[in-house]
């Protein structure tokens, strides 16, 4: 049995083969569903449950960690099913166990288990539970990344259970940061996790960091990936979260990104001319054009979501925009996209449905849709490319006018 301290055991389940999380997030390095058992002199508590698929494996580990004692509490820091799926099995095994969670989580868990009679012990920010020589203190951490999220803190051990915060989909059998072998892969996974899960909630991340730093933990045990320690990667993780969640500096160059696909190079030519037009109109802007065909869609999504304005280019194939462009649209951070300027361009042959379809979708997401769309029949002529440049310049000038 792995432990963090003599009073805290690790009951995590490794899932090295997972390649996709929550349907949308690619997980090249697998993951772990972390959970812990805390043993006070009087009472014991489980911190987080597990994915339903791994209920029996997790419960076996829990029984081993409890070493004959009964579990008094099951703390749910968050009710997403990767952590709450095994709650029903846990209640079946230990009918006396008391669920401890936030008010929002208490509502969710009834719907997740379909046990309407469930009466969790609801805790607020600052509440605590005495386990005997060990205290669990609960710290509200909403939107990291659900409204229900909280952290659990053991002051006597300077140990924080941070839920998904500072986690990573990275299956690390050695469990701790200082034992990571493939450090560069972990860094990639840590960033990808932030982008996919935490990035929409930047201001909440900053608040979460404030609370975490005020505690000055020795150990942060997240619900996925390696446990972070003060002498290991904790400070670096905090530093990264600070940088990634910070609003852009007022004098930062405006970031304008173009994303396109092109079967025969026509939309690609338009992208190049439009980018030139934008650069001419806004020489200080950071302008980058991305061909989506061979790109990693999660990375492109992060690029798009961090852009001040963006353009989508697609040919029309079989009366629609092409799949890589739609896949990118699916990566858009709908929580924060409102009012973001977006324009559309592309080549078509006869009916040209791609751009209206994209425009309609972005309007639904409440982005600031730029009109007109720029479309060219088949191969762009020299005149078309000049017009494309002018289109890019017009879009760029609109950004300046919009901002002033
Ligand atoms: C398989 C296929 C289906 C197409 N379907 C349509 C269509 O439904 N409507 C249309 O306007 N053009 C259609 N086109 C024409 C393309 O939009 C046109 O060739 C365009 O110039 C391709 O631009 P690209 O080189 O940027 O990919 C189709 C082309 C292909 C290859
Ligand atoms: Fe989650
Ligand atoms: Fe999670």
Q: What is the CATH number of the domain that holds 119?
A: 3.60.15.10
Rounded to whole angstroms, the Cα distance separating 121 from 73 reads: 9
52 has pLDDT over 80: yes
**219 CA distance to ligand 2 centroid (A)?**
20
Which residue shows structure tokens 């014991």?
Answer: 44
The per-residue pLDDT for 403 is 65
Q: Do 213 and 299 share a domain, yes or no?
A: no
Q: Which atom of ligand 1 is nearest to the CA of 378?
A: 21
pLDDT tens across 25-47, in order?
A: 889 999 999 999 999 999 999 99
Q: Do 187 and 284 share a domain, yes or no?
A: no
285 has pLDDT over 80: yes
Please tell me whether residue 78 adopts helix, strand or coil conformation.
Answer: coil
Q: Do 297 and 356 share a domain, yes or no?
A: yes
pLDDT tens across 129-163, in order?
A: 999 999 999 999 999 999 999 999 999 999 999 99
pLDDT tens across 160-199, in order?
A: 999 999 999 999 999 999 999 999 999 999 999 999 999 9
Q: Which atom of ligand 1 is nearest to the CA of 260?
A: 26
Q: How many structural domains comprise the chain? A: 2
Structure tokens at 273: 């001319």
**32 CA distance to ligand 2 centroid (A)?**
13
Structure tokens at 127: 């509440």
Asked if residue 352 has its Cβ within 6 Å of ligand 1, the reply is yes
Question: DSSP readout, 283-336?
Answer: TTSEEEEEE-TTS-HHHHHHHHHT-SEEEEE---BTTB--HHHHHHHHTS-TTT
Asked whether residue 151 is assigned to any structural domain, the reply reads: yes
**50 CA distance to ligand 3 centroid (A)?**
9
Q: Do 377 and 335 share a domain, yes or no?
A: yes
- Full-model pTM: 0.86
Asked whether residue 19 is assigned to any structural domain, the reply reads: yes
Q: Which are the contacts of 210, defined by CB distance < 8 A and separation ≥ 6? A: none
Q: Do 57 and 149 share a domain, yes or no?
A: yes
Please tell me whether residue 343 adopts helix, strand or coil conformation.
Answer: strand
Question: Which of these, 254, 229, 99, lies nearest to 237 by C-alpha position?
Answer: 229
Last residue of a domain, one of 207, 227, 245: 245
Last residue of a domain, one of 245, 280, 313: 245
Q: Do 167 and 72 share a domain, yes or no?
A: yes
Q: Which residue segment(s) compose the domain that 261 sits in? A: 255-403
Last residue of a domain, one of 222, 245, 268: 245
The per-residue pLDDT for 181 is 95
Which residue shows structure tokens 């229900």?
Answer: 148
Average pLDDT over the chain, rounded to whole? 96
Q: Strand 368-369 vs strand 341-348: parallel, antiparallel, or unpaired?
A: parallel
Asked whether residue 250 is assigned to any structural domain, the reply reads: no
249 has pLDDT over 90: no
The per-residue pLDDT for 24 is 77
pLDDT tens across 192-246, in order?
A: 999 999 999 999 999 999 999 999 999 999 999 999 999 999 999 999 999 999 9
The per-residue pLDDT for 145 is 97
In angstroms, the first-to-last Cα distance of the chain is 61
CB 341 within 8 A of CB 307: no
Please tell me whether residue 160 adopts helix, strand or coil conformation.
Answer: strand
């Amino acid at each position: 049995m792995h432990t963090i301290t003599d009073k805290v055991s690790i009951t995590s389940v490794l899932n090295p083969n997972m390649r996709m999380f929550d349907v949308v997030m690619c997980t090249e390095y697998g993951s772990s569903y972390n959970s812990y058992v805390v043993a006070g002199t009087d009472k014991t508590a489980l911190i987080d449950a597990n994915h339903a698929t791994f209920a029996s494996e997790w419960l076996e580990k829990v029984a081993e960690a409890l070493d004959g004692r009964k579990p008094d509490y099951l703390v749910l820091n968050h009710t997403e099913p990767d952590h709450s799926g095994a709650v029903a099995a846990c209640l079946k095994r230990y009918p006396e166990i008391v669920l401890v969670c936030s008010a929002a989580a208490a509502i969710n868990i009834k719907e997740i288990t379909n046990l309407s009679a469930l009466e969790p012990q609801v805790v607020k920010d600052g509440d605590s539970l005495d386990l005997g020589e060990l205290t669990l203190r609960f710290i509200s951490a909403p939107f990291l990344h659900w409204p229900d999220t909280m952290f659990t803190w053991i002051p006597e051990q300077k140990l924080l259970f941070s839920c998904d915060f500072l986690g990573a989909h990275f299956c690390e059998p050695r469990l701790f940061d200082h034992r990571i072998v493939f450090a560069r892969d972990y860094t990639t996974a840590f960033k990808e996790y932030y982008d996919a899960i935490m990035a929409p909630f930047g201001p909440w991340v900053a608040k979460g960091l404030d609370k975490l730093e005020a505690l000055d933990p020795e150990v942060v045990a997240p619900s996925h990936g390696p446990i972070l320690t003060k002498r290991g990667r904790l400070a670096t993780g905090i530093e990264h979260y600070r940088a990634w969640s910070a609003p852009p500096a007022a004098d930062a160059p405006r970031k304008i990104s173009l994303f396109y696909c092109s079967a025969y190079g026509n939309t690609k030519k338009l992208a190049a001319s439009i980018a030139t037009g934008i650069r001419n109109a806004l020489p200080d802007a950071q302008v980058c054009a991305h061909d989506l065909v061979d790109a990693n869609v999660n990375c492109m999504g992060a690029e798009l979501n961090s852009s001040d304005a963006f353009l989508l280019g697609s040919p029309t194939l079989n009366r629609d925009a092409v799949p890589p462009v739609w896949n990118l649209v699916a990566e858009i951070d709908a929580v924060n996209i409102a009012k973001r300027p977006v324009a559309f361009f592309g080549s078509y042959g006869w009916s040209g449905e791609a751009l209206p379809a994209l425009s309609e979708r972005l309007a639904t997401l409440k982005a600031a849709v730029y009109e007109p769309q720029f479309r060219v029949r088949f191969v762009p002529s020299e005149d078309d490319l000049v017009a494309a440049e002018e289109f890019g310049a017009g879009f760029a000038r609109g950004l300046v006018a919009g901002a002033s």
